[in-house]
Amino acid sequence: MATVTLDNLRKEFDNGRIVAVDGVSLDVEDGEFVTVVGPSGCGKSTTLRMLAGLESPTSGTIEIDGEDVTDVHARRRDVAMVFQNYALYPHKTVRQNMAFGLRMSTDLSKAEREERVRETAEMMDIEELLNDRPNELSGGQKQRVALGRAIVREPNVFLFDEPLSNLDAKLRTTMRTEIQRLQNELDITAIYVTHDQEEAMTMGDRIAILNDGVLQQTGAPTEVYRNPRNEFVGGFVGSPSMNFVDVAVEGDGGRVALTNDDGFAYELTGEAARAASGTGVTEARLGVLPENVTVAEDEDGLRATVEVVEPVGSDNYLHLDLGPDFIARVDSHVEPSNGDTIRVTFDQRDVTLFDAESGESLLWEEPTERKKAAA
């Protein structure tokens, strides 16, 4: 196990014309599983490659277990990386693929290496494949071997670069659980890069969201989902993600009206009104999570037309005309017809307001546990 600290990491390419990673700072605790997620090109792989020692930072530092490894050779970093394309040696057998890394990075005797390979193969359930070559294996088997090859070295830190993207949906789900089980069992610090927010949310103890090379927010998956720091995060995490409605903000400390020209009207009172009016903002984007929008029994609430009812098992997604892709996630027994006019409500405690210009949350507060931990 080891801690990992990235401090103000920056990576430029093409003489500074491309800034792939822009001032990323991240602390990963001993044994923690952190997922790094963001859209294509946001700098995930470059960050991970710098951590592995495959790319050197333009500026900033990387520490593993308190030791500055920014300029330490990849082989001396005690990290193991698992890649999307498996990166197995095609002419070596599974046994040789697994033993090779051991030979390069440890001083073990041949007998010790063989013993370790055997133990790891057993743990990964790939003993039967030890004499096969990569082209004789299925995608799932190749990924198990790639994992086994990383584990056999008993690294302090595991780095995963989209390791499951080439597998079909079912196998991906199985392998997610398998990776989590192994990480738990071996108690290894893990940093896992993916563009798939669902994978990031389900696998990570903590999730770090990158956009344009800049770290947007880190936190426990539910914390980030419920309390996004900015509009990008709100729109990126969750399936379906947060709903947004453009609104004008008007009022004083007592009552604040959020309205728009499409007939949307919502009123904040008390603490929420004070907080919203205190920002002085007149144009904002209201954010509310799909599961916090409920169908009202009476004539109170917002009038909305049901565009489509989308059944998803135990829930129905009601696509409403309140904003672009506005979804209410309701129990499957709530089943209006397409085209029906209904009333919906949501609690003002579940409302987030984002600055229309910057996209930053106007009401965001540091979660209490973290505040306590930092104190």
By CB under 6 A, is residue 37 in contact with ligand ATP?
no
CB of 40 or CB of 368, closer to ligand ATP: 40
Cβ atoms of 25 and 7 closer than 8 Å: yes
When binding is defined by CB under 6 A, the residue of 4, 6, 28, 43 that contacts ligand ATP is 43
Determine, following the binding rule CB under 6 A, whether residue 20 of this chain makes contact with ligand ATP. Answer: yes
Of residues 188 through 207, those in contact with ligand ATP by CB under 6 A are 195
43 or 287: CB nearest ligand ATP: 43
Task: Single out the residue of 144, 17, 8, 156 nearest to residue 70, CA to CA.
Answer: 8
Nearer to ligand ATP, 15 or 368 (CB): 15
Q: Which of residues 209-228 bind ligand ATP (CB under 6 A)?
A: none
Task: Quote the least distance from Cβ 14 to ligand ATP, whole Å.
Answer: 6
Which among 135, 122, 121, 138 is positioned nearest to 92, based on CA atoms? 135
Question: Nearer to ligand ATP by C-beta: 24 or 309?
Answer: 24
Query: Segment contacting ligand ATP (CB under 6 A): 24-32, 38-46, 345-353, 358-366?
Result: 38-46
Q: Least distance to ligand ATP from the beta carbon of 161, Å?
A: 8
Query: Least distance to ligand ATP from the beta carbon of 308, Å?
Result: 31
Residue 13 is a binding residue for ligand ATP (CB under 6 A): yes
Binding segment for ligand ATP (CB under 6 A), chosen from 33-41, 108-116, 134-142, 367-375, is 33-41
Residue found under tokens 């277990």: 65
Distance CA 94, CA 128 (A): 10
Among candidates 224, 223, 334, 243, which has minimal Cα distance to 286? 243
Least gap, CB of 190 to ligand ATP (angstroms):
17
Q: In the set 18, 265, 308, 312, which binds ligand ATP (CB under 6 A)?
A: 18
Q: How many of the chain's residues bind ligand ATP (CB under 6 A)?
A: 13
Q: Which region among 35-43, 215-223, 311-319, 358-366 touches ligand ATP (by CB under 6 A)?
A: 35-43
Q: Is 42 in the site for ligand ATP (CB under 6 A)?
A: yes
Q: Does 142 help bind ligand ATP (rule: CB under 6 A)?
A: no
**Among residues 43 and 235, whose Cβ is nearest to ligand ATP?**
43
Select 13 or 89, whichever has its Cβ closest to ligand ATP: 13
Q: Is 15 in the site for ligand ATP (CB under 6 A)?
A: no
Q: What's the per-residue H, E or C state across the chain?
A: CCCEEEEEEEEEECCCCEEEEEEEEEEECCCCEEEEECCCCCCHHHHHHHHHCCCCCCEEEEEECCEECCCCCHHHCCEEEEECCCCCCCCCCHHHHHHHHHHHHCCCCHHHHHHHHHHHHHHCCCHHHCCCCHHHCCHHHHHHHHHHHHHCCCCCEEEEECCCCCCCHHHHHHHHHHHHHHHHHHCCEEEEEECCHHHHHHHCCEEEEEECCEEEEEECHHHHHHCCCEHHHHHHCECCECEEEEEEEEECCCEEEEECCCCCEEEEEHHHHHHHHHCCCCEEEEEECHHHCEECCCCCCEEEEEEEEEEECCEEEEEECCCCCEEEEEECCCCCCCCCEEEEECCHHHCEEEECCCCEECCCCCCHHHHHHHC
Distance in Å, CB of 4 to ligand ATP, minimum = 18
* Least separation in angstroms between CB 162 and ligand ATP: 7
- Which residue of 2, 4, 37, 45 would you call a contact of ligand ATP, by CB under 6 A? 45
The reply to whether 14 sits near ligand ATP by the rule CB under 6 A is: yes
Q: Return residues touching ligand ATP (CB under 6 A).
A: 13-14, 18, 20, 38, 40-46, 195
